Amino acid sequence: MTQTDFTHDPAAQSWVKSAQGHSDFPVQNLPLGTFAPPGGKPCGGVAIGDEILDVAGVAEMLDGEARTIALLAGQPTLNDLLGAGNPALRALRHGLFRLLTDASREAAVRPALHPATDCTLHLPARIGDYTDFYSGIHHAVNVGSLFRPDNPLLPNYKYVPIGYHGRASSIRLSGVDVVRPNGQTKAPDADAPAFGPSKRLDYELEMAIWVGRGNALGCPVPIGEAADHIAGISILNDWSARDVQAWEYQPLGPFLAKNFHSTISPWIVTMDALAPYRTAQPARPEGDPAPLPYLLDAADQRHGALGLTMEVLIRTARMRAAGEAPHRLSQGPMTAMYWTIAQLLTHHASNGCNLAPGDLLGTGTLSGPTDSEKGSLLELSAGGKHPIALPNGETRTFLEDGDEIIIRAHADAPGFARIGFGDCRAMICPAP
């Protein structure tokens, strides 16, 4: 069954039709996640509208490879399922679609469906390692201009995908509060640093890339094969203590300013589901160097980018108390990446580094070219110089205790259902 059939198949008029059009999770999406049904243990599921389907619970109703793969979803993490590779994930997704759009099977499937409000969500997989990249070209220019107005990008930026290894142990699911970190900071006019709560806490509008099939140590992943190692995408907020980072980042880069908390949305939208939303990688500006040969693949340049729209919203404590809706701070495209997701993975493994199923790669902050598309408060407030006015009269340069940040993303394409990623949200709590 092709991706086009998923939208135009008359079977979509069946009992799951109510999930179409008004949900992040129409039946075409079938994002993967880990959940615990009422009274049950964590297992793999897919979201459909306002319900979650226990994948292993319908395995015996599936045929061939789809049945075998569905049984892997009975484990408390999706690592083995992701490691089975994209052909297996595709077979599972198509098998589930055929089952869910068969009205004659509704009664048999119903016991494996659970209202999402009754379930507990978990991290989709055991995250062994986490790497954050710096692929947002506009963000890199904006931030670099704050510190180096005449030369915002360092000489290596347009040749090598910049990244650093983060802390997998502090990645938490959407909805878990963020405790404001303490750290060393140094004011420009101070003789010595001080230790205390960060005063310049910020969010970062990112997407997360989930590694599926891994590679052996010492065996790089060619750029033409990199897409086969990417299982899917989620939303990521890699919180940043800007004042801590400014003091500590030289000479080795981010450390305590970044490792205290990262928030991720609970659902993995598979690359198969994202197929209709692939698009060409934006052409590099005239005069920019071409990627080195190990990072350059014609097919990846033709359709290696993703046509996703991301947005970030804020709801302050005062807004919540007044029952006011969150306020959108910015909205921008995932195509703001200077490198494709395949290039990020290939570069990561180019020295022989072994990636494993469930490893997580962050895109880095993604900002568009306009003010309304900036993906962090550092950019929106010009480093704290220009407070942002909120509709209720409050202002922000950086986050205050009680602020809640909500990030959402969706994909649209003509002739296909709009699919979403759910929420990636968290509230700031006072430092200990």
3-state secondary structure of 122: strand
Task: Tell me the two tokens of residue 43.
Answer: 């297992």
State how far the Cα of 347 lies from the Cα of 355, in Å rounded to an integer. Answer: 11
Query: Following DSSP, what letter does each residue of 364-396 receive, concatenated?
Result: -----SSGGG--SHHHHTTTTTSPEEPTTS-EE
Q: Dmax over Cα atoms in the chain, in whole Å?
A: 75
Q: Choosing from 114, 138, 139, 347, which is the catalytic residue?
A: 139
State how far the Cα of 156 lies from the Cα of 217, in Å rounded to an integer. Answer: 26
Cis check: omega of the bond before 251, within 30 degrees of 0: yes
Q: Please give the DSSP secondary-structure letter assigned to residue 363.
A: -
Query: Following DSSP, what letter does each residue of 73-92 receive, concatenated?
Result: TTSSSSHHHHHT-HHHHHHH
Q: Is 229 a catalytic residue?
A: no
3-state secondary structure of 52: strand
- Residue 130, Cβ density class (10 Å: 0-12 exposed, 13-18 middle, ≥19 buried): buried
- How many other CB atoms sit within 10 Å of the CB of residue 414? 5
3-state secondary structure of 46: strand
Helix axes 86-100, 64-72, angle to 10 degrees: 100
State how far the Cα of 233 lies from the Cα of 272, in Å rounded to an integer. Answer: 11
Is the CB of residue 348 less than 8 Å from the CB of residue 361?
yes
- How many other CB atoms sit within 10 Å of the CB of residue 55? 28
What's the per-residue H, E or C state across 185-209?
ECCCCCCCCEEEECCCEECCEEEEE
Q: Which residues are catalytic?
A: 139
